[in-house]
Each structure stands twice: as C-alpha cells, then as structure tokens.
Structure 1
Amino acid sequence: MAEVKKLKRPELNTGEKLYLIALAKGAMVTLKHAVKSVTGKSRGATGLNSSGLGITMQFPEQRWDDFLPEYYRGAPALVTDEQDRERCVSCQLCEFICPPKAIKIIPAEIPADDEWAKVEKRPKEFDIDMTRCIYCGMCEEVCPEQAIYLRKEYLITGTSREDMVHNKAKLYEIGGKRVGLVNKWNELK
C-alpha cells in the first residue's frame, strides 16, 4: 500500500492575507496600459487599424475583414454553379453530420421532363438555424458536391428567432456562384 503524506499549507503573513501586494501589482499593470493607450503607444494600435486609443476597434466604422485568418469559419451558405444551377443533391449528409442539428433538408424529385432528370434529387427546402450553428465546418467537409461553404461572414443578426433561420433562398443569396467541376452536372456521371 502506498504511503500517504499530509502536506501543511504555509502560513500567510498579514500583507499576503490582505492581498495588498497583489492589488498593487494589478493596479500598476492597469496604469501602465492606460498611459500607453493615451500616448498612442499601445501594442497593436497601428496594426489593427484602431482609433489610436488602445487596440479597440471602433465597430461598425472599422471592421476585422482585413485581419481575418485564412482558416476563419463564418456563416454557412449554399452555392450555385456558373449557370445558376443548384449544386446540392439533397443527400442530407450535412444534416446527419451536423452536431447541433442546425440543418434541415426536405428533398424533392426533379421532374422527368427536365433536362437534368438524370439527377435524382434537389432540395425542396434547405434551412440552417443560425442560432444553433456552431461553425464547425463539418457540413462543408462532408458535402460530395461542394454545395455548402463556410463564408467569411461574421455579421449575422436578426430581430427574432425566425430571422435567424436562413432558408434556401437566403443561403443562395449569401453564397453566390462557385466556379469548378460539379459532379451532379457532369455528363459522364
């Protein structure tokens, strides 16, 4: 059996019990940052395009758009091909893999008289609840047709919960066109 050791806490002196030294150190750090901010010498003031008083950006006049990293994941959106055809085939993989269950797809058949009737389905309804979306990017990774992308959008607002549910029309409006091969429309498929 292992030996049990009892440890005794060190005794604090009066200054340590009142946290006076810690409070003084914190006040000095705050004062140092305040002085640098007022003199315009704060870290990041010029690089982040701030107002000059600290590194706080003056939103909405100043935006983070130029400073977003390449790996930034923003709002998901649907895209069309060059001829404004839907890329989505309603495979529902994005709906199944979505951790918070923010995506809801209702598939529809493509009519037999359509030029692209060889493609089985298209989305009748495609909704993404932006209040539930966690911007994980799994929907983008799993899409076989590259129909859904995470954009660099970070300004997603609404006045009600209904405004935050993006329907198919809104998702296509946000996404726009995407150039490149689409397996769905490939003649050899």
Structure 2
Amino acid sequence: MNVHDKYKPLTFWERTYLPRIWDGLKITAKHFFRNLWHFTLASLGVKREWKGAVTFQYPDVRRLFHPRLRTMHRLTKREDGTPRCVACMMCETVCPAKCIYIVAGQRPEKEIEKVPVVFDIDLGMCVFCGYCVEACPEDAIRMDTGIIEMASYSRQDLILNKERLLSHVPHPEYYTARKDLEAVAKPAVLRTESEASISAH
C-alpha cells in the first residue's frame, strides 16, 4: 500500500488555501477584539482585573529572568578587590567559540602564583554556552549580571576587557526561581557598567 493512499485528496477550495487563511484571520480577529474590549473596560474602571493583552513596556518594564538564564559575563573579586582569577586558562581552553583571551602574569604573593594581566571576552563570538563558568575552579567568572543589552555600533565595543568585566555586578533582583512570578513585570533599574562601588559578591 502506498503511503500516499491514506491521505484524502484535496478539494479545489482546499488547494487554494483560502479556508485555512480565513480560519487564521478569524482567530486573529477574535483575540484582537477580545483584548480591545477587555482593555477598554479596564480603562473605564468597569473591569480592572481584565488587562487584555499583556505587553511589557521594555526597557522601562521588564520580565523577571529565570535563574538559569546566562547574561553578560563578570569577573568576581576577592576581599581586597583583586580578581579571583588565577589565569589557569581553563575557561580559555574549554571555550568552543575561542572568544576568551588571557595573558598570565606573576603575583608577588606566594599563595597566588598567577594573575590575569589581560582577560578579554569577545561577545561577537561568544555563544553563551556557560562552559567557562562551569570549568572555572575558582568561581572567578559568572554570567549573572542581568545585562542583556549588548548591541553596539562597532565590533571593538563588543570586546570586554578585564576592567569592564570587573566593573559588572550581579543583579539578583532581575531573577526569580518561582514559576508563578515569571510573568510579573517590574521597573527596570537604570544602571551602567561602572557600578564598581557595589560589591561583586
């Protein structure tokens, strides 16, 4: 038996796809007028619990992030303000995109043998796989800044050097572990990459 024999032949109208187009327009119109009606009643104060379609006014209002979301990188610091990175090259080695470049240098302290003199991450090449975070034995690199705005007019601006990575801070207020809060919008916190005054831990 031919596999095509079990399919019913299309009629003339079905071959024109007009019935399917009409069905799609009906669904779109139903949602449009229902949301318009709910929004109108909510605006008049009749049914305030009817919000209609939910649209987030980004960037003034943003959704909460899932805790597992990987955002822009940052380097963590020790208590004395120096980077926790010991230039072991684990992150540079494991990176599948080869977007991490590290140059190691010596430190005078005997407890810490090496320190990164250069630590660059090219966001134009990064695939945000998180392997660098998993491979780091010192917990020196994390992706919990909550920064998702990475557009730039030049490729050079997409390269994060050590100073920029150290200036990034964690923003746990953008994250939630509760599924019932994932759709809750909250005002965006205006910030810049120079918030080095906030502790990185």
Residue 150 of structure 1: aligned partner: 143
Task: Check if 1:129 corresponds to 2:122.
Answer: yes
Residue 168 of structure 1: aligned partner: 162
Task: Check if 1:96 corresponds to 2:96.
Answer: no
1:70 aligned to which of 64, 67, 72: 67
Residue 54 of structure 1: aligned partner: 53
What is the TM-score with the length of structure 1 in the denominator? 0.77
RMSD between superposed Cα atoms in Å = 1.8
Q: Which runs of 5+ in 2 are unaligned?
A: 40-50, 170-195
Task: Decide whether the 8 Å contact of 1:82 with 1:178 is kept in 2.
Answer: no
Measured after TM superposition, the shift of residue 38 of structure 1 is 1.5
In the aligned structure 2, how far is the partner of 1:139 from the partner of 1:34? 45
Residue 47 of structure 1: aligned partner: none
Task: Decide whether the 8 Å contact of 1:78 with 1:149 is kept in 2.
Answer: yes
Task: Decide whether the 8 Å contact of 2:35 with 2:53 is kept in 1.
Answer: yes
Change in CA separation of 1:118 and 1:101 when aligned onto 2, cut-off 3 Å: same
Pairs aligned (count): 159
Measured after TM superposition, the shift of residue 53 of structure 1 is 6.1
Residue 81 of structure 2: aligned partner: 84
Q: Which entry has the higher C-alpha Rg, 1 or 2?
A: 1
- Pairing 1:31-46 to 2, within 5 Å after superposition: 31-40=29-38
In the aligned structure 2, how far is the partner of 1:171 from the partner of 1:161? 17
Residue 184 of structure 2: aligned partner: none
Task: Say which SS state the counterpart of residue 62 (structure 2) adopts.
Answer: coil
Task: Say which SS state the counterpart of residue 80 (structure 1) adopts.
Answer: coil
Q: Which amino acid aligns with 1:137?
A: G
Q: Which runs of 5+ in 1 are unaligned?
A: 42-51, 180-189
Task: Decide whether the 8 Å contact of 1:76 with 1:135 is kept in 2.
Answer: no
In the aligned structure 1, how far is the partner of 2:78 from the partner of 2:52? 46
Q: Which amino acid aligns with 1:39?
A: W
